Amino acid sequence: MGTPLILKTTSGGYDGHGQWDINDIADLAEMKKHWPNAQLIVEKKIQFTREVSVMVTRSANGDITTWPIAENNHQHHILKTSLAPANISHQLAQKIEDIATKIATALSLRGVLGVELFINESTEEIWVNELAPRPHNSGHYSIEATTISQFEGHIRSIVGLPIPQIECFKPALMLNLLGDELIQARQALANHPEWHFHDYGKAVVKQHRKMGHITVLGEDNIAKLLNWAATHQEGTEDEQ
């Protein structure tokens, strides 16, 4: 297959855990010194320009509903931001929605499903990277930004209630708060009435752990939140 490659455990992996980048033979030699006691799969890295995801659900009578496609950015293999709707062409968006619809139909889906995809805009190639059969981190923006959240859509599908067409109020950005970024956000919250602040109430703050998230609506608020995030990162709490 050649390099670069990604090694992954077949189960238990999330947020970069259970994944190893193999960029050359030297990486592989080093990896062999610390080979995990687990079954692994190997995937060849592909060239893509964006990572996106779409939440999809299916009603009791088979009608498919999708949420706006989100554009996702990761740091250290952990989702950092989701922007919805994604800044992609109408043609690519339609292809992605068609893929999500085909998957939901083939699975006779009930509840919501997160479909993660890689796209190459220059070639219009699309790869399905992961399926998450549940409400998904990249769909949290829907709590404030859409007429029906992914959580309400999940329950409506399961219990057989109708699912109306999803409408998005404004462009939205969801920012994950990792580790002590939550503490920094708590301290800043009083100065940011535009924030929709979600504190998960976890008892222990751990590095790289998702402790909460912030969602904002509208282009101006998106720019302000990105600016705040650029100067408030894990490990910088003592500097504020």
CA 181, CA 197: separation in Å to the nearest integer? 12
CA 218, CA 233: separation in Å to the nearest integer? 23
CA 119, CA 63: separation in Å to the nearest integer? 26
In 3D space, the residue among 126, 135, 147 whose CA is nearest the CA of residue 57 turns out to be 135
Q: Which two tokens stand for residue 139?
A: 């769909």
Instruction: Report pLDDT for 15.
Output: 74
Q: Do 130 and 190 share a domain, yes or no?
A: yes
CA 109, CA 121: separation in Å to the nearest integer? 29
Q: Do 32 and 105 share a domain, yes or no?
A: no
Q: Do 28 and 137 share a domain, yes or no?
A: no
CA 15, CA 59: separation in Å to the nearest integer? 30
Tens of pLDDT, residue by residue over 49-80, are 999 999 999 999 999 999 999 999 999 889 99
Triad 104, 109, 110: Cα angle to 5°: 140
- Using only C-alpha atoms, the chain has a radius of gyration, in whole angstroms, of 19
Is the distance from CB of 54 to CB of 69 less than 8 angstroms? yes
Q: Do 27 and 103 share a domain, yes or no?
A: no
- This prediction's pTM: 0.91
Q: Do 118 and 132 share a domain, yes or no?
A: yes
Domain extent, residue 28, equals 5-44
Q: Do 16 and 133 share a domain, yes or no?
A: no
Tens of pLDDT, residue by residue over 74-110, are 998 899 999 999 999 999 999 999 999 999 999 999 9
Q: Do 63 and 157 share a domain, yes or no?
A: yes
pLDDT in tens, the chain (240 residues): 889 999 989 888 777 778 889 999 899 889 888 888 889 999 999 999 999 999 999 999 999 999 999 999 999 889 999 999 999 999 999 999 999 999 999 999 999 999 999 999 999 999 999 999 999 999 999 999 999 999 999 999 999 999 999 999 999 999 999 999 999 999 999 999 999 999 999 999 999 999 999 999 999 999 999 999 999 999 865 433
Number of structural domains (the chain) is: 2
Q: Do 80 and 192 share a domain, yes or no?
A: yes
Is the distance from CB of 100 to CB of 112 less than 8 angstroms? no
CA 44, CA 42: separation in Å to the nearest integer? 7
